[in-house]
Each structure stands twice: as structure tokens, then as C-alpha cells.
Amino acid sequence: MPAHQRKLLKNHFVLGFVPFGGNFNEFMLPFVSEMKEFEQGKLMKVNGEDSWVIAGLGVVTADLPQGNDMAGVLRHNANKGCRTCTASRESFTNLYQDIPATSRYHHTTDVQFKEISDESATTRQNQLCIQYGLRAKPNILDRLLRERHLQTPQDVYHATAGKIGRLLKLTCELFSQEGENEFIKA
């Protein structure tokens, strides 16, 4: 599908919302099973004619914690808790960050997941998870053909809202009580 058509709302599908307290893997299992068939191609009737239909997962949108879960990355408060890079928390504000060197790449993450799963000692597995900033096991969506880091982009609203909220909090902490009251009135 051409890029301009992918952006059209009619070509986006909401699968559903995992019920509060529900298990994401259980919820997604039927979808993943069905998509595996479509990745291989499936003969279907389209407008009364037999058509070979091939489909795949496009982009997954989620807020920050769930997006990290879907990318197989530890949560954002971990030392390397960014789903698109391996920069440590201490280097987030480094203007000279080597982005290609710190970016997460699907093939590299696959090797790291294999190293974690091949380790028999749980303690060593946990150490590797911390070292790589990854969860112990890949997400159920990794059973599909996808690029986990590129197809789970950062959720702009939550990322921006979080930064604005933090900036506002820090700004208010600089004010005296009287100054904060005046700022809130304005």
C-alpha cells in the first residue's frame, strides 16, 4: 500500500483494548495466529473474485510503558529503558550522543534475546536483562514479521505531556509560594 494511503484513517484498525488486569499475550494470541496466516498469504473472495491477500502488522501505538513492553525493552525508569536507543540515563542530555552507535537494531536485539534465553542461571539472565535494557523474553508480537523498534514508535502525546508536566513542576518548584500562586492565576 502506498505511503499516502497508509496515512488514511480508513486504513487504520483498532484491534481492541486489553481489559484492566488482563494478560496482553492471551488477548493478542488469536490476532497473532490470524496474522501469521496472512503473512504467508491467504486466498479470499474480494468483490466476488478469488484474490491472494498478504497482510502484516504495520505500526503499534501504545503509551510509554506498554510500548516498551511490546518492543521487549525494560520500562523507562531502567538504566537503558528507551525502546529506540541504548543510551544510559546519565547520557540522555549529551548533545554529542553517537545516535547510530546507541540506536537499538532488531538484529542486535535478537542476538541479545538469544543470549539471555540461552543462559541457564536466572541470576545471570537478570544481569543480562539489566545490561541490555531488555525483558527476559520477547513480546508475543515478535512472532510476526516486524521490526520491533521501528514499528513501535514513541507516543508523541505522552512523551510531550510528560516533559511539559516535568518542566511545569520544576518551574513551580523555583517559585516562592506567592510567586506560584501568581503563576497559577495567570
In a domain, residue 170? The reply is: no
Percent of the chain exceeding pLDDT 70 equals 89
Could you tell me if residue 186 is inside a domain? Answer: no
Residue 143 has pLDDT above 90, yes or no: yes
- Say if 184 falls within a structural domain: no
Residue 181 lies in a domain: no
- 3-class SS at 1? coil
What total of structural domains would you count in the chain? Answer: 1
Beta bridge partners, 121, equal none
User: What domain range includes position 41?
Assistant: 3-154
The reply to whether the predicted model has a pTM over 0.95 is no
Residue type, 162: G
Q: How far is CA 162 from the centre of its chain?
A: 16
Asked if residue 180 is part of any domain, the answer here is no
Q: How far is CA 162 from CA 39, 68, 184, in A?
A: 37, 16, 19
Question: What mean pLDDT is reported for the chain?
Answer: 84
Q: Is 162 among the domain residues?
A: no
CA dihedral 148, 140, 29, 45 (to 10 degrees): 30
